[in-house]
A = this chain, B = another copy of it.
């Protein structure tokens, strides 16, 4: 077969889609090779530590995406309500109306490298912190703001599970609509 190339970004996007769909153990190198067109040895050239390194890189790239597309926006300018409504739109796209799973869910299962779980734990904390901050801006005291921030993330994750289990994104879309009120935003 002739040389084939695929950018690192395109590779990671395909890998993300596979991992969030089938989980770490459910994705084989063969699936990654078939979807990306790479050959096995080329994959190992890019990621010498194999699947462990790929899944960790995927999680880091998602964390980076959230950083610049969700968290920075939450901490940005404009009214809290305007910011959260834009965040809800982007979450809706990232999770494809509840069709695509959360990596905080699927990849936090006890499998794969410990380093992966560290990345996910840090991303979770950053998310809760950002929600806490925007709730605080709306006048809530620190304890209540953090409480509501955790509740908001809980409902996002929980509604994604229910969406997946019953096969309908309704619950997830309703959660997104409620986000401003959940965080008590002005």
Contacts and interface: CB of A to CB of B under 8 A. Distances in A.
A109 interface: yes
Interface string A80-116: 0000000000000000000001101110111100000
Contacts of A26: 23-25, 109-111
Interface stretch (A32-40, A136-144, A147-155): A147-155
Number of copies of chain A assembled together: 2
Interface string A150-186: 1101111111011011110001000100000000000
A21 B110 contact: yes
A124 interface: yes
Interface of A: 21-26, 101-102, 104-106, 108-111, 117, 120-121, 124-125, 150-151, 153-159, 161-162, 164-167, 171, 175
